[in-house]
């Protein structure tokens, strides 16, 4: 076997980078979980001891964490003064949870994959099934905070206005269903922007529904939202807008779920489908989608196992692509399907009966 040493060396470098990235993600999770980033915000340069006292953390461990963050370039270290600085630019990513760029808490998703590793191994050795409901709580929190910045930044300012006539319908007042709503991040954003409309969030995971109720209350929109434990083919009512935010591919029977949505739409109703960005052809997606490695990882460990745990078990995957999703909606009886908007992370698709 002739091994190309230069390629091996290059792979080693690549792997060292991935491993460092994984370690830094854990450090970011700790920084958010322990309140270290929040404690540093707006403080200017501070010593390790001051940070440890303010955050009520062990001083020795805090010092080591700071050095790992400084080595990763997330925090600035001044060797002469022996102080650490969280810059304003880093704070909007790591500390300020209302900033559209806030990413630190999304690291919970990766934590969940690591914590649940042994069960995911069992799924790979067995029938591939592992329900969303059987994951560590980190997953539900991580998913909320991974997607929430995008929903807050774009959902009501760009995505809904890109749908044909939907913003006007919601401004006048309409019934909206958010199916697979999780912690209600998208439902709350819609309820805030369209006070004449009523948003109904449905999810089959009871603890997520409890959190969604609390989030709506914190945001002051409890009066125009409701959250109910229900599967994607179980919710009642008729709607002007039925939304699926980053969840249709998680369902065992996405065609049945889309068909059920069609039956629960008003005559002038619309389905808003938000799915992870993916290019249509597998080889092209693998080669050209900068998020493909991350999204296929989530797909193989979270999304597809959940789909395989449900009836039909289609296993669409988080990287199905627009063409495959169009087929799903055509099979479900929709006649119109188009991409209305996109971000590097998401495709925003509009389906009509």
Ligand X SMILES: C[S@@+](CC[C@H](N)C(=O)[O-])C[C@H]1O[C@@H](n2cnc3c(N)ncnc32)[C@H](O)[C@@H]1O
Q: Which stretches of the chain bind ligand X, using CB under 6 A?
A: 132, 143-144, 147, 180-182, 185-186, 203-205, 208, 231-232, 245-247, 250-251, 306, 310
Question: Minimum CB separation from ligand X for residue 146, in Å?
Answer: 8
Shortest reach from residue 217's CB to ligand X, in Å: 18
Of 62 and 306, the one with the shorter C-beta distance to ligand X is 306
Give the chain's length: 353
Phi/psi of residue 339, nearest 5 degrees: -85, 120
**Closer CB to ligand X, residue 112 or residue 170?**
112
Of 326, 320, 353, the residue nearest 338 (C-alpha): 326
Q: Which helix (H) or strand (E) holds 278?
A: none
Q: What is the rounded distance in angstroms from the CA atom of residue 16 to the CA atom of residue 5?
A: 16
Q: Which is nearer to ligand X, 84 or 132 (CB)?
A: 132
Assign residue 313 a region: left if phi > 0, alpha if psi is -120 to 50, beta otherwise?
left
Residue closer to ligand X by CB (options 83, 211) is: 211
Nearer to ligand X, 141 or 224 (CB): 141
Output the smallest distance, CB 216 to ligand X, in A.
14
Residue closer to ligand X by CB (options 63, 324) is 324
| Cβ burial, residue 78 (10 Å; 0-12/13-18/19+) | exposed
Residue 284 beta carbon to ligand X: minimum distance, rounded to whole angstroms = 24
Q: Coil, strand or helix: which one is 46? A: strand
* Shortest Cβ 186–ligand X spacing (Å): 6
Q: Give the residue nearest to ligand X (CB).
A: 182
Q: Which is nearer to ligand X, 27 or 142 (CB)?
A: 142
- Long-range (24+ apart) CB contacts under 8 A made by 189-193 are 189/151, 189/152, 189/155, 189/156, 190/155, 190/156, 190/160, 190/243, 191/216, 191/219, 191/221, 191/224, 191/225, 192/156, 192/219, 192/221, 193/155, 193/156, 193/160
Shortest spacing between CB 20 and ligand X, in angstroms: 27
Q: Which one, of 244, 256, 262, lies nearest residue 348 by Cα? A: 244
Report the C-alpha gap between 349 and 166 in whole angstroms: 13
Least distance (Å) between residue 152 CB and ligand X: 12
């Amino acid at each position: 076997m002739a091994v190309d040493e230069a390629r091996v060396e290059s792979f080693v470098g690549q792997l060292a980078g991935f491993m460092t990235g994984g370690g830094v993600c854990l450090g970011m999770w700790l920084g958010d979980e322990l309140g270290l980033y929040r404690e540093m915000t707006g403080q200017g340069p501070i010593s390790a001891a001051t940070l440890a006292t303010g955050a009520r953390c062990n001083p020795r461990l805090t010092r080591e964490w700071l050095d790992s963050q400084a080595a990763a370039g997330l925090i600035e270290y001044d060797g002469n003064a022996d102080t650490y600085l969280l810059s304003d630019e880093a704070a909007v990513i790591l500390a300020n949870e209302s900033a559209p760029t806030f990413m630190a808490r999304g690291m919970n998703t990766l934590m969940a994959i690591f914590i649940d590793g042994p069960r995911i191994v069992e799924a790979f050795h067995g029938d591939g099934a592992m329900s969303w409901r059987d994951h560590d709580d980190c997953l539900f929190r991580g998913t909320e905070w991974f997607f929430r910045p995008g929903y807050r930044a774009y959902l009501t300012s760009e995505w809904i206005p890109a749908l044909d006539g939907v913003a006007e319908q919601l401004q006048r007042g309409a019934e909206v269903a958010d199916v697979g709503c999780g912690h209600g991040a998208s439902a709350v954003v819609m309820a805030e922007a369209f006070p004449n409309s009523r948003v109904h969030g449905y999810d089959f995971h009871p603890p997520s529904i409890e959190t969604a109720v609390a989030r709506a209350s914190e945001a002051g929109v409890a009066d125009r939202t409701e959250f109910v434990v229900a599967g994607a083919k179980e919710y009642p009512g008729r709607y002007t807008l039925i939304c699926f935010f980053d969840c249709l591919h998680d369902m065992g029977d996405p065609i049945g779920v889309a068909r059920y949505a069609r039956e629960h739409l008003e005559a002038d109703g619309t389905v808003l489908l938000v799915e992870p960005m993916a290019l249509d052809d597998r080889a092209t997606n693998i080669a050209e989608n900068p998020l493909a490695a991350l999204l296929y990882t989530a797909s193989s460990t979270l999304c597809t196992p959940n789909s395989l745990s449900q009836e039909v078990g289609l296993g669409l995957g988080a990287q199905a692509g627009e063409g495959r999703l169009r087929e799903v909606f055509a099979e479900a009886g929709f006649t119109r399907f188009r991409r209305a908007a996109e971000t590097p992370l998401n495709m925003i698709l509009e389906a009509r009966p």
